[in-house]
């Protein structure tokens, strides 16, 4: 087993990995920039090294040099940044440093999205429809022709990314050019590669993924599925397991298909096989995320298995600690992704300093965060601040626990999307499990209309207090000093 691991990431995922390493008796080295100096991962790690490169956490050469200098035997990339960069993985392998994630061969295979979809389709599995070739933003005639062949609505996606960053939904032809330019610019900044491709959008649909673990000895298992259909900018805000609405037969086919696709690409370590499920119950493969995901705690809650520990042990050459028969899916788990942004002001990012930061607690409640009172929330990075994850014996119990946990969570100093989740937990469609990827594109006013009498009363009181405080600040007030008469005495002429 490794004695020292460098964590090439920041935020809540860095904290998660630091804590796991400490539980395993592994010394940790973390990286930070000036804006992250007071972040929790810096405070918890055994060693910390400041990054001075303009590339920050994307400077693979500097990170490998730091690993060498500090004696780290392995690098855990978390998610984002260098987590899915085959060139960085290959550089680690060449330097004799273990990479906690899939091998560079797997990374290259799943990164080429059009070839990936083609191989899966050739193996007999249904995939989403996609453009026949990739293109760059300046190749207007090429992408216009591909779009006309596919039809609308469609997605513009980065070849080096996933459904998250640099992805744009295009419903009408006149919006295509702008979407391509925006996706290309974002992909160039984030991935260093502005090549794009098109995918036929399935609307409405459910976004369902299957968690896979594979070791370097040919063993591959699944740990159930997650539904991440409630998204904004293709980032999953709410995720739950098991996915509501699936029959047992459909669920079994989904799991089996995911394992077969993982074997097709010799996937190792933690990967996620992602599908779109249409309203007729047909699922279509869309991509592979060759890394740990933001939503992995949901799977950990329903399986009682530690995915980050498994990642580290697999990277150290160990076999999986479990077989498929050992995996038991129990109860229901839900995760809400708390972002430092204002959902009532076009989701404007809200950097600042956390003033009051009270976490929810109680049985089967977990919060992954880098925050604490006095901690700065930088403007440069993804606004994710915390993840609230709950477990219940069944879905209604998990929903009740999540609603209570969101009420317990107190954050001041920055705006967050906590109020949005409180509305979602009251929404009839969500409560019934009858939601799709179109959920946040509809009006949330129906949720307000169905609030309970107690919640409506509390909102009315809060609104009245806020109005009184605001109006009080505008009332003219006579300073006490003027009531003492000193100004009148100072103007008297000497007698």
Residue 155 has pLDDT above 60, yes or no: yes
Stated as kind and residue range, the H or E segment containing 253 is: helix 248-264
Superfamily of domain 206-449: ATP-grasp fold, B domain (3.30.470.20)
Enumerate residues 6+ apart whose C-beta is below 8 A from 84. Answer: 107, 111, 160, 289, 290, 291
Nearest to 387 by CA among 18, 45, 9, 15: 15
> For residue 174, what are the contacts with CB-CB under 8 A and spacing of at least 6?
none
pLDDT in tens, 286-327: 999 999 999 999 999 999 999 999 999 999 999 999 999 999
E strand or H helix at 357: strand 356-358
Q: Evaluate the omega torsion of the peptide bond into residue 204 and state whether it is cis, within 30 degrees of 0.
A: yes
> From the centroid of its chain, how far is CA 326?
28
The residue that leads in pLDDT, 251 or 458, is: 251
291 is catalytic: yes
Please tell me the least confidently modeled range out of 128-142, 157-171, 233-247. 157-171
E-state strands within 396-448: 410-412
**CATH class as words, domain 129-200:** alpha beta
H/E stretch holding 248: helix 248-264
76 φ/ψ angles, rounded to the nearest 5 degrees:
-105, 120
Confidence of residue 19 (pLDDT cuts 50, 70, 90): very high
Say which residue the tokens 């330019």 belong to: 181
In whole angstroms, what is the distance from residue 478 CA to residue 370 CA? Answer: 45
Angle between helices 113-122 and 104-111 (to 10 degrees): 90
Residue range 442-467: mean pLDDT, rounded: 70
Confidence (pTM)? 0.89
Catalytic residue (one of 165, 291, 305, 337): 291
**Any idea where the domains of the chain sit in the sequence?**
4-100, 129-200, 206-449
CB 478 within 8 A of CB 484: no
3-state secondary structure of 85: coil
> Mean per-residue pLDDT for 188-206?
89
> What is the bridge-based pairing of β-strands 47-50 and 365-369?
unpaired
pLDDT, residue 24, reads 98
Q: Give the Cβ contact number of residue 456 at 10 Å.
A: 13
Mean pLDDT of the chain: 92
Residue 241 structure tokens: 């397991």
Residue 468 pLDDT exceeds 80: no
Asked if residue 218 has pLDDT above 90, the reply is: yes
Q: Domain spanning 4-100: which CATH class is it, in words?
A: alpha beta
pLDDT score of 493: 59
């Amino acid at each position: 087993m490794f004695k020292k691991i460098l964590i090439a990431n920041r935020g809540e995922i860095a904290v998660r990995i630091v804590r796991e390493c400490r539980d395993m008796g592994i010394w940790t080295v973390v990286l930070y920039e000036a804006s992250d100096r007071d972040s929790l991962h810096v405070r918890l790690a055994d060693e910390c090294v400041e990054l001075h490169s303009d590339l920050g956490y994307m400077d693979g050469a500097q990170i490998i040099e730091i690993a060498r200098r500090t004696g780290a035997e392995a690098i855990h990339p978390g998610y984002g940044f260098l987590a899915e960069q085959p060139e960085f993985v290959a550089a680690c392998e060449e330097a004799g440093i273990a990479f906690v994630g899939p091998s560079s061969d797997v990374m290259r295979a799943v990164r080429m999205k059009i070839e990936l979809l083609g191989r899966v389709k050739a193996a007999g599995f249904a995939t989403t429809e996609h453009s026949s070739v990739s293109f760059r933003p300046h190749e207007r005639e090429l992408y216009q022709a591909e779009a006309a062949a596919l039809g609308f609505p469609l997605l513009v996606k980065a070849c080096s990314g996933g459904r998250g960053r640099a992805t744009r939904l295009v419903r009408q032809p006149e919006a295509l050019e702008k979407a391509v330019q925006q996706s290309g610019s974002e992909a160039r900044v984030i991935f260093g590669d502005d090549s794009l491709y098109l995918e036929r959008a399935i609307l409405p649909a459910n976004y369902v993924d299957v968690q896979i673990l594979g070791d370097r000895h040919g063993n591959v298992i699944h740990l159930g599925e997650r539904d991440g259909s409630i998204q904004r900018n293709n980032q999953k805000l709410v995720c739950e397991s098991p996915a509501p609405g699936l029959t047992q037969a459909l669920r079994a086919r989904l799991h089996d298909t995911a394992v077969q696709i993982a074997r097709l690409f010799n996937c190792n370590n933690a990967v996620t096989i992602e599908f779109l499920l249409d309203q007729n119950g047909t699922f279509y493969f869309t991509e592979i995320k060759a890394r740990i995901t933001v939503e992995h705690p949901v799977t950990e809650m329903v399986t009682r298995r530690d995915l980050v520990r498994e990642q580290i042990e697999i990277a150290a050459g160990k076999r999986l600690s479990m077989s498929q028969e050992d995996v038991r899916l129990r109860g229901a788990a839900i995760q809400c992704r708390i972002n430092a942004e204002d959902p009532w002001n076009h989701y404007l990012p809200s950097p600042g300093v956390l003033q009051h930061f009270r976490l929810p607690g109680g049985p089967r409640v977990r919060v992954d965060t880098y925050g604490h009172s006095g901690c700065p929330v930088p403007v440069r990075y993804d606004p994710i601040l915390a993840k609230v994850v709950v477990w219940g014996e069944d879905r209604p119990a998990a929903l009740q626990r999540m609603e209570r946990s969101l009420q317990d969570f107190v954050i001041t100093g920055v705006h967050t999307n906590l109020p949005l989740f409180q509305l979602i937990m009251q929404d009839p469609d969500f409560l019934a499990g009858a939601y799709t990827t179109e959920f946040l594109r509809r009006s949330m006013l129906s949720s307000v209309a169905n609030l309970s009498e107690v919640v409506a009363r509390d909102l009315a009181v809060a609104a009245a207090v806020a109005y009184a405080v605001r109006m009080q600040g505008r009332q003219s007030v006579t300073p006490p000093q003027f009531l003492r008469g000193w100004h009148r005495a100072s103007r008297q002429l000497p007698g």
